[in-house]
Structure 1
Amino acid sequence: MTGDRQQGTNTRAITSRRRVLAAAALAPMLTAAGPAAARAVPHGMPGPKHGRRVRPVPTGLADWAGVARALGRTGNMLRGTTYHTGFPRRDLHVVSDGVVVTAGLALGTHVAFVRYADGSTMLMGDVVVTEDELQWVTDAWQAHGIEQTALHKHLLAQTPDIWWTHVHAHGHDAVALARGLRAGFDRTGTPPALPPGPPTPVDLDIAGMEAELGAKGSVEDGIYKNVFVRRETIADGHLILPAGLGSTSAFNFQPLGGGRAALSGDCAMLAHEVQNVLKALRRGGIKLVELHNHHLAEDPRLFFTHFWAVGDGVELARAVRPAVDATNVVPSG
């Protein structure tokens, strides 16, 4: 997945070599998977010259019953094509910048399954693990053909040490993919699912924040969230991603009382947008945490920056709006 603007023959050659290296890096993970691994399908390479791209097909909850059983909890449908399941790490007591971070703010594992017109299934997710869990989880996933495409931080210095790792798999047996994913989860302290609780009051001026952000958000697990999706069609190798999957900019606000909030978020950017976004965030007093990729073979190439701030909710929303305006996104609603 390359979104870099190519300028001249030398740049095209460099990009081509990068694609070849990325494909080579995936090969050992697929061939080394043991008998229990899901049967993997090669990603293919991005761009029309590498074959026809495959579109996702609509599915319903009934289509994912086997996946739900393998994961040990039910999920929900997003936009008619993406089966999503959350695994909030409510077992963790994490403090960053003097703030006790809730699961809804930055400690939520999220995985998604998508069915394609060729009958295959893609798995993509973002998983929260402690530093002590990380290597054990990695070993379990590698034994089951589950790939890792990113490993990084979402928060500034925190206790205990937490890592966020992105996972990816593609095959014709969705349940086998789910079992492979579950094998890694079973090596963590991820708690069982809880029944939905009563709505939690959110002590924030949501109307004022939405006026500053120019979009409606939502409240989930006591967190106010505002999400934007890229306008472009994004592909992962030869697979077209459903709108919003793996290409969102998310702004999560945890109430701290008196209209104040802790903000944890990330922006999805093309290469030419990166510097404008970073500058806009810093002009607003927002602390930068990470700049990285989440994928290995997306087209166009995407970059993500994670950021953090504490302050008045409306002022924080005003501070991040220029970063939103510097990217080609629309509100997810």
Structure 2
Amino acid sequence: MRILTSVAVLGLLVGTPALSAEGWQQEIASGLGKQGTEMPGGVYRVGLPRTDLNVTLDGVAIKPALALGSWLAFKPIGNEVMVMGDLVLTQEEINLVLMRLEQGGVEITALHNHLLRAEPATMYMHVHGQGDPAKLTATLKEALGASKTPFGAETAGISPQAAEQASTTGSIAQKVDLDTAVLDQTLGHKGKVNGGVYQVNVRRAEAVKDSGMEVPESMGSAIAINIQPTEPGKAATTGDFVLTANEVNPVIKALQSNGIEVTAVHNHMLNDEPRLFFMHFWANDDTAKVAKGLRAALDQVKTAKD
């Protein structure tokens, strides 16, 4: 009879992952050449903003945090890790990246636009994989190497003064020319400033799963609302609403009736429970009007309370 050690028995009883947290996270950081951030739900998320791209839409210079934020999120499953992500790519990069991902066993779960009329046009590739951390990150790094995705520090593109501050304090002062208190009150949810953009994430009321595994909000299951000031009293907004089938058209109606353009409706996952649709949107208008329209849309969705 095989005798299990007390540590192994304890691991089975409490469901502790076989991978040590420090071990698998360090493997990912080393494999990608980029440090990530520990997120709620046991997720390790690596941001890869396309700071190399200069994208404009309707005369608005798009900040990476508004609509150009590639990311990869990892979660341990036994002695393996699962990865989900959203890769921002130019049209010329798509098939080069896709071919390398497929060859390495990483699945493509969606490929589509988020924006309309953007110059240059960007596309968004959603990915899913599971396996050994080192092998997964090797595939992901090679695939993204076929694009011009930067793997440098998040301080790329900021002023020398801000870069110096980041090197000494470990962070960058986050400022945005918006009345965030009023936005929080209107939307009914609090956000945070990131890269000159106000970002609000709203969880759905029910748990979201993919292939039976829970998908935390940091892996893409939350509604994402991004707001960037464009000129005094005005702001651009984009992001995605995460919706069940019966919520799709009520949200479309709420957005359109408030002057917010619907730019795409599609799936991000293949085996999600419940079946979800992701609706992307765009507006550049009076900030209060934009916030009111977003709240009208949120009121059509079953969301969790903060």
Equivalent pair of 1:126/1:166 in contact (CA under 8 Å): yes
Instruction: After TM superposition, give the deviation of residue 127 of structure 1 in Å.
Output: 0.3
Counterpart of 1:185 in structure 2 is 144
Unaligned runs of 5+ residues in structure 2 are 1-14, 156-161, 163-171
Equivalent pair of 2:237/2:283 in contact (CA under 8 Å): yes
- Please list the CA deviations of residues 95-143 of structure 1 after superposition, one character each: whole Å capped at 9, or x if unmatched: 1112111111100101100112x33321100000000111111111111
Distance 2:73 2:154 in 1: 20
Instruction: After TM superposition, give the deviation of residue 182 of structure 1 in Å.
Output: 1.0
Equivalent pair of 2:50/2:150 in contact (CA under 8 Å): yes
Of residues 144, 147, 150 in structure 1, which corresponds to 2:104? Answer: 144
Instruction: After TM superposition, give the deviation of residue 304 of structure 1 in Å.
Output: 0.6
Counterpart of 1:301 in structure 2 is 275
Instruction: After TM superposition, give the deviation of residue 259 of structure 1 in Å.
Output: 3.0
Kindly report which structure 2 residues correspond to 1:81-120, keeping only aligned pairs within 5 A, or say none: 81-116=42-77, 118-120=78-80
Distance 1:178 1:297 in 2: 23
Kindly report which structure 2 residues correspond to 1:252-267, keeping only aligned pairs within 5 A, or say none: 252-267=226-241
Of residues 126, 145, 156 in structure 2, which corresponds to 1:166? Answer: 126
Distance 1:165 1:243 in 2: 18
Tell me if 1:204 matches 2:178. yes
Counterpart of 1:72 in structure 2 is 33
Kindly report which structure 2 residues correspond to 1:170-319, keeping only aligned pairs within 5 A, or say none: 170-171=130-131, 173-194=132-153, 196=155, 197=162, 198-319=172-293
- Please list the CA deviations of residues 62-117 of structure 1 after superposition, one character each: whole Å capped at 9, or x if unmatched: 5400110111110001114110000010100111112111111100101100112x
Distance 1:276 1:261 in 2: 24
Amino acid at match of 2:116: L
Question: Secondary structure at 1:159's aligned position in 2?
Answer: coil
User: Relative to structure 1, is the Cα distance of residues 114 and 174 closer, same or farther in structure 2, using a 3 angstrom cutoff?
Assistant: same
Question: Secondary structure at 2:203's aligned position in 1?
Answer: strand
Question: Secondary structure at 1:322's aligned position in 2?
Answer: helix
Instruction: After TM superposition, give the deviation of residue 201 of structure 1 in Å.
Output: 2.7
Question: Secondary structure at 1:227's aligned position in 2?
Answer: strand
Instruction: After TM superposition, give the deviation of residue 244 of structure 1 in Å.
Output: 5.0
Distance 1:314 1:209 in 2: 8
Counterpart of 1:127 in structure 2 is 87
Instruction: After TM superposition, give the deviation of residue 233 of structure 1 in Å.
Output: 1.7
Distance 1:199 1:88 in 2: 18
Counterpart of 1:325 in structure 2 is 299
Distance 1:300 1:68 in 2: 32
Distance 1:74 1:260 in 2: 35
Distance 1:244 1:88 in 2: 16
TM-score by length of 2: 0.85
Question: Which gives a bigger RCO, structure 1 or 2 (Cα 8 Å, sep 6+)?
Answer: 1
Amino acid at match of 2:62: V
Distance 1:71 1:250 in 2: 25
Distance 2:86 2:70 in 1: 6
User: Relative to structure 1, is the Cα distance of residues 71 and 306 closer, same or farther in structure 2, using a 3 angstrom cutoff?
Assistant: same
Distance 2:208 2:220 in 1: 9
Pairs aligned (count): 276
TM-score by length of 1: 0.79
- Please list the CA deviations of residues 212-243 of structure 1 after superposition, one character each: whole Å capped at 9, or x if unmatched: 10111100111101110112122211322235
More displaced, 229-238 or 57-66? 57-66
Amino acid at match of 1:178: T
Alignment RMSD? 1.9
Amino acid at match of 1:308: W
Distance 2:212 2:47 in 1: 26
Equivalent pair of 2:63/2:195 in contact (CA under 8 Å): no
Equivalent pair of 2:243/2:301 in contact (CA under 8 Å): yes
Instruction: After TM superposition, give the deviation of residue 175 of structure 1 in Å.
Output: 1.6
